Chains A and B, each alone.
Chain A
Amino acid sequence: MMAVSVSSGTFVLVLAVFLASGVEMVEALTIVLAVGHTRGWRTSLYGVASALGALVVLVALVGPALVRVPLSTLHLVIGFVLLIFGMQWLRKSILRSSNLKAKHDEDEIYRATVAELASSEPRRRLDRIGFVVSFKGVFLEGLEVVIIVITLGSSAHRIGLAALAAGAAVLLVTALGVVVAKQLNRVPENALKMSVGIMLMSYGTYWTGEGLHVRWPGGDVWLLILVGIYLFATWFLVASLRRGEEALAASSSR
C-alpha cells in the first residue's frame, strides 16, 4: 500500500512539473525566437542568460526561507496557489476545447512580438528593446516554472526531483525549438494545458486539504482519485459547452 501510495504521488508530481514547465517554456521560446529573428540572436540570448541568472538568484534567496515556514501553513498557501493556477489553466483549456477560444496562442504571440519589435528603431549590436522583451518573456514564464517547482516540490519533500523534471522539460523544449524553429504551433498546447490544469487542481485540492487538517483515507492515493474526478468534470463541461454552442448555431441558422 505504501509503495503504491509513494509511487502514485511521485508519478503525478513528476508529470505535472514536466508538462507545466514544458508549456511555460514553449511560451518563452516563442518570444525568444521572435526577438532573435527581428532584433538579432545576440540580443535575444543576452536576454535569456540575464533572465536565467535573475531566476537563480531569486531561487537562492527564497528557497532556504521556505524551510522555516510551518508545514501546515506551507501546505495551505501552496494548495491555495496551485488550486487557483490549476482552475485558471483548466478553464482556458475547456474554453479552447469547446471552440469558444482560439486553440493556439503561439502564432499570435509570435506575430504580435515581431510586429511590436519591427515598428521600433532599427537593430544595433545590443538592442535595448529586444533585450528587455527577451528578458521579460523568459523571466516571467520562468518564474511560473519556479513557482510550480517550489510549490509542488517542497510540499511533497521532493524539490530535487521536481527541479529535475522541470530541467528535463526545459531541455526538451529548447531542443525542439532549435529543430522546429518557429513552428511551435505544432505542439499540442491545449491538450498539455488541460492535463496540467487537472494535475495542478488535484495537487491544489490535496494540499489545501492537508493545510486545513483534512485526513485523506489512503494518503496520496487520493491524488489519483482527484485526477479522476477533475478529468470527468472537464469532459462533462467540454461536452455540455459544445452542445450549447451547437444548439445556438442551429437555432440562429434557422
Chain B
Amino acid sequence: MRLRRSLPFRVAKGFAIFWWDFLVGDTPELFVAALAIVGIIALCRVVWRINVLALVALPVLCVLALALSVRRAQRQLRKE
C-alpha cells in the first residue's frame, strides 16, 4: 500500500523540487560556477579589498562560466 504523505510535507517537497529545478536543473555546472564566482569576488572585495580586481573579474568569470557550459552542452549534443 502506498504511504500517503501529509499536505505540508507534499507542499514542502514540491517547493524544494521547484527551487532545485529552477537553480540547478540540467545545468549544475552553472550553479557551481555561480557559487565559485561569489566566493572569488568575496575574496577580492571583502578579504583583499581590491575593488578594481572584483570589478573586472566579475563579468569575466561570468562569461567564462557561460562559455564552458555552452561548450559542455555542444559536446553532449554531438554525442546524441
Residue positions of A touching B, CB distance < 8 A: 76, 80-81, 83-85, 87-88, 90-91, 94-95, 98, 100-101, 140, 143-144, 147, 201, 204-205, 208-209, 212-217, 226, 229-230, 233, 237, 241, 244, 248
A100-B74, A215-B51, A233-B67 are known contacts. Are A226 and B59 too (CB-CB below 8 A)?
A: yes
The 9 A-B pairs of least Cβ separation, nearest first, read A233-B63, A214-B54, A87-B30, A84-B34, A212-B45, A212-B41, A100-B77, A229-B59, A83-B34
Chain A residues positioned under 8 Å from B48 (CB to CB): none
Query: A212 is contacted by which of B46, B67, B69 (Cβ under 8 Å)?
Result: B46
Known pairs A140-B18, A209-B58, A214-B45 / 18 extra A-B pairs, C-beta < 8 Å: A81-B23, A84-B23, A87-B27, A87-B34, A87-B62, A87-B66, A88-B27, A91-B27, A91-B70, A91-B73, A95-B74, A100-B74, A143-B18, A212-B46, A214-B55, A217-B55, A229-B59, A229-B63
Whole-angstrom distance between the alpha carbons of A83 and B35 in the complex?
A: 10
Whole-angstrom distance between the alpha carbons of A204 and B58 in the complex?
A: 10
Whole-angstrom distance between the alpha carbons of A101 and B3 in the complex?
A: 41
Whole-angstrom distance between the alpha carbons of A215 and B45 in the complex?
A: 9
Distance to closest chain B CB from A140 (angstroms) = 7
| Majority DSSP secondary structure for residues of A touching B | helix
- Between A and B, 9 residue pairs with Cβ closer than 8 Å are A87-B65, A87-B66, A91-B69, A91-B73, A100-B77, A209-B55, A233-B67, A241-B70, A244-B74
Residue positions of B touching A, CB distance < 8 A: 18, 22-23, 25, 27, 30-31, 33-34, 37-38, 41-42, 45-46, 51, 54-55, 58-59, 62-63, 65-67, 69-70, 73-74, 77-78
Chain A residues positioned under 8 Å from B30 (CB to CB): 84, 87-88, 91
Chain A residues positioned under 8 Å from B65 (CB to CB): 87
Chain A residues positioned under 8 Å from B42 (CB to CB): 212
Distance to closest chain A CB from B9 (angstroms) = 18
- Contact status A237-B66, CB under 8 Å: yes
